[in-house]
Amino acid sequence: MPAPNHRRIPGATVARLPVYQRILLELVRGGTTTVSSEQLAEMAGVNASKVRKDLSFLGSFGTRGSGYDPEYLLSQIDRELGLDGDWPIAIVGMGNLGRALANSPGFSSRGFRVAGLFDVEPSLVGRRVRGMCIHQLDDFEEMASSDPPRIGVIATPGATAQDVADRMVKAGVGSVLNFAPRVLTVPPHVLLRYVDLSIELQVMSFYLSRTDRRGSAEVSSPLPHVVGLGPSAPA
Amino acid sequence: MPAPNHRRIPGATVARLPVYQRILLELVRGGTTTVSSEQLAEMAGVNASKVRKDLSFLGSFGTRGSGYDPEYLLSQIDRELGLDGDWPIAIVGMGNLGRALANSPGFSSRGFRVAGLFDVEPSLVGRRVRGMCIHQLDDFEEMASSDPPRIGVIATPGATAQDVADRMVKAGVGSVLNFAPRVLTVPPHVLLRYVDLSIELQVMSFYLSRTDRRGSAEVSSPLPHVVGLGPSAPA
DNA sequence: GTTTGTGAAGTTATTCACAGCG
DNA sequence: CGCTGTGAATAACTTCACAAAC
């Protein structure tokens, strides 16, 4: 029998794939032609078996005795993450954060495409960010029906975030990425993720306040880079 | 024998505490005087036993038969997160992202305090953000010695992020929060966390591209809100 | 009756350690 | 030899289920 059409990949692994992707991108740019799990591990701040196990969920892309080819590995990770498709994004809220997101390379590469920018503030409407015009939020529904965004990004102040989320859901956006400092509620069929810019600050203060108390001599701490995501995946 | 001075709290729990904190903040503002684990769970997008287990690591602060007092619980979470201390923060990179961070309420409340803003760009130096003057990056070392930041935040473009991190470490900053789209390397005694604004985009595209293939009828997905952090904690 | 707090059971993730391949 | 890929062992986390407290 043939291999299953797509293997089940643990959520913890999925959360790390973008980190490997970033590192490989650098390596490819730098012209590296081979990289070992040990090297990748050091750069990612995890250990080598984890890297090998993670990559093994995608397939066997390494060469024993030598390592992985960064370019090939990168293409496999991109494929696995679904980055060979088209991912139009609408961003609502064009304050500093919204502009930062719209200008961020990650929002305009590897399949992602900023398809619409919106704000309620009249003084912002009509201005251009990355060559795109900011539209009045009232036009959201209309524009969403002509070029439906697959991901709606919320970058408004906390107070209006829930309203925006409701509108997005009503307009048929199936997934919401929330950068506003507020926990939102959406219907269960909508994929919602919450990125709070200051949450990591709090997690850091937790660990720092504890290491301090033990005397600053004992500084130990693996876990250099950690990113995104807690537990389990959608069914 | 007395209870241990501070219990060991699982990393996964630590990552969720800020989420509970946010929710409790809303509840307190709204005047709610009691909340059950079930209600908290729904708002946080997790299940009720998880909430109870998480909170039980901090102590027994609930009342059986009725629930938790949001205000008291909030104070306990803040204490546990070390938010009763003083946490001066230096931000390097005053583009859109840096300004968004400096203006973000989470950077100026609950013990956090923006102590210094820096950029290399002469046109930004001298401008004010939130009443604070942006300084030339060259002055970083000097200012860091007079009011040493406990957390250094990097909000520069990717290309300069590593240099900034090196300077921070050399100046004695013991913890770095990196928002630049680049994986950084620091000595092992420095606590480093990496928040990439587009990583969640990629994680979303992974799950979306898979649910799509199964036919959009089957939309199921628990895991509504997820935030920060993967695995284990510093020793 | 309601809801917490928690052992015990179940699940997922990490690490070990080594066979197998280049 | 060196390094990957992977079962087996360990550890971490989540969920269940219920006794105890209000």
Nucleotide D1: closest residue by CA–C1': A65
Judging contacts by C-beta atoms under 8 Å, the chain B residues touching residue A57 are: none
**What is the C-alpha separation between B169 and B141, in angstroms, rounded?**
10
Percentage of residues in chain B with pLDDT exceeding 70?
87
Minimum mean pLDDT range among B21-30, B118-127, B148-157, B216-225: B216-225
What pLDDT does residue A200 have? 87
CATH superfamily of A87-195: NAD(P)-binding Rossmann-like Domain (3.40.50.720)
**What is the C-alpha separation between B72 and B34, in angstroms, rounded?**
10
What pLDDT does residue A214 have? 41
Tell me: the pLDDT tens digits for A82-123?
998 899 999 999 999 999 999 999 999 999 999 999 999 999
Q: Taking a C-beta distance cutoff of 8 angstroms, is the pair A15, A57 a contact?
A: no
CATH 1.10.10.10 matches B11-81: yes
Fold match flag (A11-81 vs A87-195): no
Judging contacts by C-beta atoms under 8 Å, the chain B residues touching residue A30 are: none
Nucleotide nearest to A230 (CA to C1'): D13
The type of residue at B154 is I
Q: Is the dihedral of CA A15, A16, A20, A22 positive or negative?
A: positive
Which distant-in-sequence residues (6+ apart) come within 8 Å of A77 by Cβ?
A17, A20, A21, A24, A58
Beta strands B132-136 and B128-129: pairing type? antiparallel
**What is the C-alpha separation between A226 and A197, in angstroms, rounded?**
14
Instruction: Please report the DSSP string for A154-175 in residue order.
Output: E-S-HHHHHHHHHHHHHTT--E
Span B51-66, average pLDDT: 97
Where along chain A do its domains lie?
A: 11-81, 87-195
Q: What residues does B193 pair with on adjacent strands?
A: B177
Q: Taking a C-beta distance cutoff of 8 angstroms, is the pair B169, A30 a contact?
A: no
Tell me: the pLDDT tens digits for B127-149?
999 999 999 999 999 999 999 99
Nearest neighbour of A189 by CB, restricted to B111, B219, B233:
B219
**What is the C-alpha separation between B154 and B166, in angstroms, rounded?**
11
Q: What residues does B117 pair with on adjacent strands?
A: B91, B134
Judging contacts by C-beta atoms under 8 Å, the chain A residues touching residue B188 are: 219-222, 224
Residue B167 in tokens: 């300077």
DSSP letter, residue A178: E
N residues, chain B: 235
**What is the C-alpha separation between A51 and A36, in angstroms, rounded?**
10
Side-chain half-sphere exposure of A53, counting CA atoms within 13 A? 9
Tell me: the pLDDT tens digits for A151-197?
999 999 999 999 999 999 999 998 999 999 888 888 878 888 888 89
Span A218-226, average pLDDT: 34
Query: Which A positions 94-113 lie with beta carbon below 8 A of chain B?
Result: 95-97, 99-101, 103-107, 110-112
